[in-house]
Amino acid sequence: MKKYDIDTPALLIDSAALHRNLDRMQRVAEGFGVRLRPHTKTHKSPHIARLQVEMGASGVTVAKVGEAEVMAEAGLDDILIANQVIGATKLRRLAALARHARIAVLVDSSEGIELLDAAFREAETGIDVLIEVDTGKGRCGLTDLEQIVALAEQVARAETLRLRGVETHEGHVPGGAHSEGQLEERATSAGRRLVEVADALRDRGHVVEDVSVGSTPAAPYTAVTPGVTEMRPGTYVFNDVNQMSIGQATPEDCALSVLATVISRPAPDRAVLDAGSKSLFAEPARRAFAYTDYDGFGYMRQAPAARIVTLNEEHGVVRIPPGTEFPAIGQQVEVIPNHVCPAVNLHEEFYLVDGEDVVEVWPIAARGKVR
Ligand SMILES: Cc1ncc(COP(=O)(O)O)c(C=O)c1O
């Protein structure tokens, strides 16, 4: 099968670009002397997770218990759920999972620790936890050292829990960044803060094995601080327009595109694609210091100067600048999503392509696993 025989909209992965991206990040981690535990929320595919482990990753990261179940079922046996897991049903599933694989989970509250310990006492099993530290993102996680110490002490007292380490997601690093220097400064300060917290816990007698950071835009910088032990980037497998906006990717580094068909050319300056918000995900691209003349809902490889200006559910409306060539009705275009992770979650399978040839079709087995 050739890629232009694929019915659209569909997700294409350029096999060579995927392998380059996997290899590059593995080497970044090895250069820093830290373990790579990639976040699989970007691809939601055990096929790619297995490739990551074969290339040297120490395990995988997921956001949800449902994603962990899919990965464990596929044989991935070292999984960090980098999230707070709250709720009786989820905790029962978590305890069942922890019998079959090496699982760890985050905590950031006394209530969360109590619920987790109670569920695991009931299930008569145990689990490792990492304390989530907020290094600037302002999502979950604690900033105050005394509160973090109190949680570590509570974990130490809990019958079924073992403190494995501390964790942060320095996802705030690229937001509105105006230079590479600023990315570096924010990322290194997040890394330093997490190591400081780990050392403070050790000073109080706790064993802290894992000092875990993670974010693709910050990946070249955060783990520079001695004491960081693990990094968890996710987006790097595919890259996207957001990565282009901070100068960390070119279109050639973007391994994934949404293949779409031109279905209408109602005016010389307008074309319509069969891919809308249900295929591309309607998120504006990040505004940052590189690639600043871009505004649109995806970068079209065959027409970089044209812009997808409007997304309806099943229509992408393209504005074509005067004098610009654009594919005709029935022809296909490859669109790099602004934010690749939620776009992937909208689809059922990946078409892996080598040049023009489709070489494999991989199910996106953990898509929609939001519980
Ligand atoms: C907890 C956590 N770790 C790691 C990552 C990976 O970040 P990125 O997608 O920038 O690679 C994310 C992304 O959302 C995350 O939430």
Average pLDDT score over residue span 302-324: 97
Q: What is the spatial distance between Cα 351 and Cα 15, in angstroms, rounded to a whole number? A: 10
Evaluate: CB of 235 within 6 angstroms of ligand 1. yes
Rounded average pLDDT over 156-163:
98
* Nearest CA-CA partner of 194 in 135, 129, 115, 242: 135
Task: Report pLDDT for 330.
Answer: 98
Which residues on neighbouring strands pair with residue 272, listed in sequence order? 264, 317
**Could you tell me the distance, in angstroms and rounded to a whole number, from the CA of residue 357 to the centre of ligand 1?**
32
Residue nearest to atom 4 of ligand 1 (CA): 214
- 99-102 LR contacts (CB < 8 Å, sep 24+): 99/125, 100/72, 101/68, 101/72, 101/76, 101/77, 102/59, 102/77, 102/78, 102/128
> What is the pLDDT at residue 365?
98
Q: What is the mean pLDDT of residues 223-232?
A: 97
pLDDT > 70 in the chain, percent = 100
**In the prediction, which pLDDT does 293 show?**
82
CA distance 45 to 74: 10
Decide: 3 in ligand 1 pocket, CB within 6 A.
Answer: no
Query: pLDDT tens digit string along 5-40?
Result: 999 999 999 999 999 999 999 999 999 999 999 999
Whole-number Å distance, alpha carbon 154 to ligand 1 midpoint, is: 27
What is the position in ligand 1's atom list of the atom closest to the CA of 139? Answer: 16
Query: Between helices 110-123 and 145-157, what is the axis angle to 10°?
Result: 20
What is the pLDDT averaged over residues 306-320?
Answer: 98
How far apart CA 334 and CA 312 sit, in angstroms, is 18
pLDDT at 313 over 90: yes
- pLDDT at residue 125 in the model: 97
Query: In this predicted structure, what is the pLDDT of residue 292?
Result: 80
Q: Is the pLDDT of residue 176 over 90?
A: no
**pTM score over 0.95:** yes
* Whether the predicted pLDDT of 294 surpasses 90: no
262 sits in the region (left: phi over 0; alpha: psi -120 to 50; else beta) called beta
Structure confidence at residue 329 (pLDDT) = 98
Q: Which of helix, strand or coil describes residue 311?
A: strand
| Ligand 1 centroid – CA 238 distance (Å) | 13
233 CA: nearest ligand 1 atom: 11
Residue with CA nearest ligand 1 atom 16: 169
Instruction: Quote the ligand 1 centre to 248 CA distance (angstroms).
Output: 16
3-state secondary structure of 82: strand
Report the pLDDT averaged over residues 222-249: 97
End-to-end CA distance of the chain: 36
| Ligand 1 atom nearest residue 219's Cα | 11
Mean pLDDT for all residues in the chain: 97
Residue 288: which pLDDT band, with cuts at 50, 70 and 90?
confident
Q: Using a 6 Å cutoff on CB, does residue 141 contact ligand 1?
A: no
Nearest residue by C-alpha to atom 2 in ligand 1: 169
The one-letter amino acid code at 214 reads G
Segment holding 139, helix H or strand E:
none
Residue with tokens 């696993």: 369
Separation of alpha carbons 75 and 365, rounded Å:
13
Residue 36: its pLDDT value, please? 98
CB of 82 shorter than 6 A to ligand 1: yes
The per-residue pLDDT for range 53-62, each reduced to its tens digit, is: 999 999 999 9
How confident is the model at residue 299, as a pLDDT? Answer: 97
Segment 164-190 mean pLDDT: 96
Q: Is residue 233 within 6 Å of ligand 1 at its C-beta? A: yes
80-112: pLDDT as tens digits = 999 999 999 999 999 999 999 999 999 999 999
With 90 as the cut, is the pLDDT of residue 244 above it? yes
